[in-house]
Structure 1
Amino acid sequence: MWEATISCNSAYDGLFFYAVKTTGIFCRPSCKSRVPNRENVSFFSNATNAHKAGYRPCKRCRPDLKSIKTFDPLEKVIEDIKQIIEEKYGQKILLDELASMVGVSPYHLNRLFKNRTGNTPRMYLEQIRVSKAKELLLTTNLNSTEISFKVGFQSMSSFYHAFKRRTGLSPSQFQAQYFKDSANED
């Protein structure tokens, strides 16, 4: 069992679980978490016994779920990051802070997010901010300066560059184009 644990052998998933005394967590043999010290490991024939012994399930490998195929821990990280960005887009958000919120390194988060979504977290944040800015330009009387700071940009120049990069238009051109198109429809 120890050999299966240190080699992260998925062939043993469901046959036994291991728990780490120092963390209070139990895992599947295939878990990619750091290899614990042998003296801190206990083995259990099922997740219920590990839970009864006072261990909580690992958030990475989710040994509490019947089938690992139903849970992709990396997809959960992506969903969590998207939710955080969508809720906090108006605030200053640093990659280090995002990474610590979901428990991964900034490098790993950036690479994982880009692999799964095609965007870095920063690009996704910019996309959300520009989308919110477009909405505000069309539904409020706020000017571009007010909107840029409301959606979280730190300067007017970064707002204009991001807006133009995403839409091909400046905020005022976007607004004029929309209202021109709306007038032509009437």
Structure 2
Amino acid sequence: MKEEFWKAIVECDENFDGIFYYGVMTTGIFCRPSCRSKTPKQQNVKIFHNYEEPTVEGFRPCKRCRPDLLTHSTTKQNLVKKAIQVMSENYSKEIGLTDLAVKLYVSPFYLQRIFKSETAMSPSQFLLNKRIERAKDLILHTSLSMTEVALEVGFKNSAHFSSVFRKKVGYSPTEYRLKHTGS
């Protein structure tokens, strides 16, 4: 086995995903190099250059890293995707980091760290951006009052909404409506 392949397995290096797969002879399972499962003993590892070879030899795909799927997103990417989905579906409700973490079965600290590393913003920043984008849409395409818009997108009062909106957009909600609709 090439030393760089062994190093990739030990370090769970996703840069080698698709370049090779490895089977563990003692378990009969094959994985991607990025798999976070326990590092096997080097003498029990067999290298494969495509995902069909291990199946032909009787290995079954790992349930954690799913080497049998051609497109694969990491556990971190899946967590972020689920967090975005939950926040997008519930942006008008009060949802804190702890609530979100409980829904996703992870710790708040871990969620915050992974979300920020994958998106360059915190979950609360994402949620705020989602609310502001929805507010802009409501301001331009409905006749709702600013208080109704604020409540609709999850703000508790219009004063706070107006302050946050101005900070993010550069205009008050009313000025934004006037500037873009003329009414």
The TM-score, its normalising length taken from structure 2, stands at: 0.66
Cα distance change, pair 155–15 in 1 and its aligned pair in 2 (3 A):
same
Cα distance change, pair 49–166 in 1 and its aligned pair in 2 (3 A):
same
Structure 2: how far apart are the matches of 1:176 and 1:71? Answer: 46
Superposition pairs of residues 104-115 of structure 1, within 5 angstroms? 104-115=106-117
Alignment gaps of 5+ in structure 1 = 21-25, 36-45
Aligned residues: 161
Equivalent position amino acid for 1:62 in 2: R
- Deviation string 1:64-122 (CA, Å, 9 cap, x unpaired) is 436xxx42322222222222211111111121222233333211221222222221111
Superposition pairs of residues 43-122 of structure 1, within 5 angstroms? 57-58=63-64, 61-65=65-69, 70-73=71-74, 74-122=76-124
Shift of 1:127: 0.7
Q: Secondary structure of 2:127's match?
A: helix
Runs of at least 4 residues off by over 4 Å: 7-11, 17-20, 26-30, 46-51
Is the CA contact 1:16–1:28 (under 8 Å) kept in the aligned structure 2? no
Is the CA contact 1:17–1:50 (under 8 Å) kept in the aligned structure 2? no
Shift of 1:63: 4.6
Q: Secondary structure of 1:93's match?
A: coil
Superposition pairs of residues 141-156 of structure 1, within 5 angstroms? 141-156=143-158
Aligned to 1:165: 167
Percent of aligned positions that are identical: 31
Alignment gaps of 5+ in structure 2 = 1-6, 39-53
Structure 1: how far apart are the matches of 2:108 and 2:69? Answer: 28
**Structure 2 counterpart of 1:132, from 134, 154, 162:** 134
Shift of 1:164: 1.1
Aligned to 1:15: 22
Is the CA contact 1:18–1:29 (under 8 Å) kept in the aligned structure 2? no
Structure 2: how far apart are the matches of 1:179 and 1:19? Answer: 68
Structure 2: how far apart are the matches of 1:149 and 1:176? Answer: 20
